[in-house]
Chains A and B, each alone.
Chain A
């Protein structure tokens, strides 16, 4: 990942460690220190809030800026994340997707990305390591062309810590695809401007609407840039979404990120058994490709959304967007919350869910592999004892497993 980012010639890289993103910035730090990546300023900051703030300053002063974070780190920098979005600064950030505490958990899910959903950033989800690498190149191009920040989301550990061979493009290829950064707004004593003025009710809505139109432009450009990417690098990466065996599918599963690989394998198996099932991977979560999603799903008889995040007190997050995109159609959308805090999403568990969906028996909201007995015991304890204690610890005790070894 670091080598791909280095090929994009970032000029300022700010780094604050958080698992599972750390090795990416470590490797970039080494590349800067050896001079392989030059000119580049590598800045060890004191927090993620500072990391994004340094990136904001660097980008506003005309440098190509990159940082990476995860989970709590994203939340800690959130005020600056929104600020970069609002200012329209083309910063690229890798988000190594990880659960958000409490309870503290370093493993993968998509809670962090969903928390930043409305920050004005483009959010691209990688299915594989190859795509994660490729999306960074596309991200810099898209960001700088539209003056928008872009987050490349890749599943923590599942992708970030997977060792597999990926094709790295040549510097010449990347240079041909990604021209030098020409900032739309620049902090420059030769042409002094004020950036970041206060905007009142008389113009705030218009400024926000401009941000929305840029996202709508991004919907078009992501497709075009992905096509150009394929021509330049000879690989299909990116795009708004990936369709797999959806054309004649009754059941279409929708998901983000690396779990798509598992689902595709399962789709192949289930197809052999005669089930008409396909899968739709959303690469561009923001901007959300409503029209493309609708076109891909309008012939389906049912949609099952497998998501690694949920809105407590409501249900699915991606599902909500899908339901909105399918307004007016009768296709039912079922949500399967899965893989929270790094719980493995197995083909066996998914298969029973998809079979249930195929029979028309899947409920609107399902928590995959939820230990109902364990939950019931804790709920009972809460009723029984006024001071029942912290639920997370009680549940772990009930499981008889020290944290992190289950």
Chain B
């Protein structure tokens, strides 16, 4: 269906072009506005966008019977400068590294109180998920606690000023992996594949999504809410500040992350991949990299690679991901 609604530069389906029942939660004036306007996120913030989509979808899926637990980070800081709050849902922030465990506690309290209709969403950035919160998250997963945990992955510690995290991609410049020396930016061969780690816990549902495909993101939230037990949704959310990209390019960059194969979009149930989103218009990694200041050291002023070896290594990484997840039906043509 989607292909017929081809729009400039994307395959996304505009809400006006689909039946009322197929329109996004976000297009509904009656949406919950879980994260309402007036917060202090930067212009073009992918995380604010992702959180808004995800939580409004979760609110619809649970008929408003939901509470959220938030880790420390950008999302927490820009949404609740005391005494203001942008949250129109029940919301709790405790610490940076413990959101999954706090969510477990909330879920346990709701169960013991017989409030089984109320669902729990935990959320954190990539630092709060793959690094400092990983122990608590793994514990929550292995106990199969009834929590949907969402990671808004912007691939570094943006709140503290763009330091490297375990989710930072190779070659990316951060404040702690400067673009200097023979191997500028973040080293190759490091980092965590968090969705794969979540799958290794064989929890009921693991999915990835980006802010470039709103229908897909909302559908995954809805799907996640049909399961009980531990669920994990990993959303790629570009960060104009940390990625050195234009605020207007957030969605475009998120889309290119998927089209290059650098960020695979898929769903897994009980440890097995069950669906992947195929790449319909494959793009070389250079298209993705050139839009971002964090990769600027790889190119000269005219956009030609000054470090073709590194660009090739990143392309190789993307190609491997494409093969591993079967993201392109026919890869013979290459890019």
A residues lining the B interface (CB < 8 Å)? 11-12, 14, 39-41, 43-47, 49-50, 53-63, 65, 79-80, 83, 87, 187-189, 191-200, 203
Contacts and interface: CB of A to CB of B under 8 A. Distances in A.
A57 B90 contact: no
Q: When A and B form their complex, which 10 residue pairs have the shortest distance between CB atoms, in order from nearest? A: A57-B105, A196-B93, A46-B139, A61-B109, A53-B101, A63-B109, A53-B98, A57-B102, A54-B105, A58-B105
Contacts of B81: 197-198, 200
Interface in B235-292: none
Given A46-B138, A53-B101, A87 B94 contact: yes
A198 B86 CA distance: 12
B329 to A, nearest CB: 41
A53 B91 contact: no
A45 B100 CA distance: 11
Given A41-B112, A50-B136, A195 B105 contact: no
Interface string B86-97: 011111111101
A11 B109 contact: yes
A197 B135 contact: no
Nearest to A38: B112
B196 interface: no
Contacts of A188: 67, 90
A63 B118 CA distance: 14
B143 interface: yes
A273 to B, nearest CB: 55
A39 B101 contact: no
26 contacts: A41-B109, A47-B139, A50-B135, A53-B104, A53-B105, A53-B136, A54-B101, A54-B102, A54-B108, A59-B109, A60-B92, A60-B102, A60-B106, A61-B105, A63-B108, A63-B113, A79-B97, A80-B95, A187-B67, A187-B90, A187-B91, A188-B67, A192-B88, A194-B92, A197-B80, A197-B83
Nearest to B84: A197
Given A189-B66, A197-B82, 12 more contacts: A11-B112, A11-B113, A12-B112, A14-B105, A45-B101, A46-B136, A49-B136, A80-B95, A187-B67, A194-B93, A197-B81, A198-B76
A284 B90 CA distance: 35
Contact of A61 (B70, B88, B110): B110
B135 A46 contact: yes
Interface string B50-71: 0000000000000011110110
Contacts of B104: 43, 45, 50, 53-54, 57
Contacts of A59: 105, 109
A53 B90 contact: no
A199 B85 CA distance: 11
Contacts of A79: 95, 97-98
Interface of B: 64-67, 69-70, 76-77, 80-83, 85, 87-95, 97-98, 101-114, 118, 135-136, 138-139, 142-143
Nearest to B96: A79
Nearest to B104: A54
A226 to B, nearest CB: 29
A116 to B, nearest CB: 16
Contact of A83 (B95, B118, B136, B138): B95
A39 to B, nearest CB: 5
A295 B100 CA distance: 48
Scoring B70, B107, B109, B139 by chain A CB atoms within 10 A of each residue's CB, the highest score goes to B109
Contacts of A60: 92, 102, 105-106, 109
A196 B82 CA distance: 9
A44 B143 contact: yes
Contacts of B114: 39
Scoring B64, B90, B101 by chain A CB atoms within 10 A of each residue's CB, the highest score goes to B101
Nearest to A65: B105
A48 B109 CA distance: 19
Contact of A43 (B89, B93, B108, B142): B108
Given A12-B112, A49-B101, A54-B108, A192 B89 contact: yes
Nearest to A191: B90
A200 B82 contact: yes
Nearest to A41: B108
Contact of B93 (A40, A80, A192, A197): A197
Nearest to A197: B80
B163 to A, nearest CB: 19
A187 B139 contact: no
Contacts of B87: 192, 194
A80 B98 contact: yes
B91 A192 contact: yes
Scoring B91, B92, B113 by chain A CB atoms within 10 A of each residue's CB, the highest score goes to B92
Nearest to B101: A53
Contacts of A61: 67, 105-106, 109-110, 113
Contacts of A50: 98, 101, 104, 135-136, 139
Contacts of A65: 105, 109
A371 B104 CA distance: 49
A83 B108 contact: no
Contacts of A80: 94-95, 98
Given A62-B113, A188-B90, A198-B81, A57 B135 contact: no
Nearest to B114: A39
A26 to B, nearest CB: 18
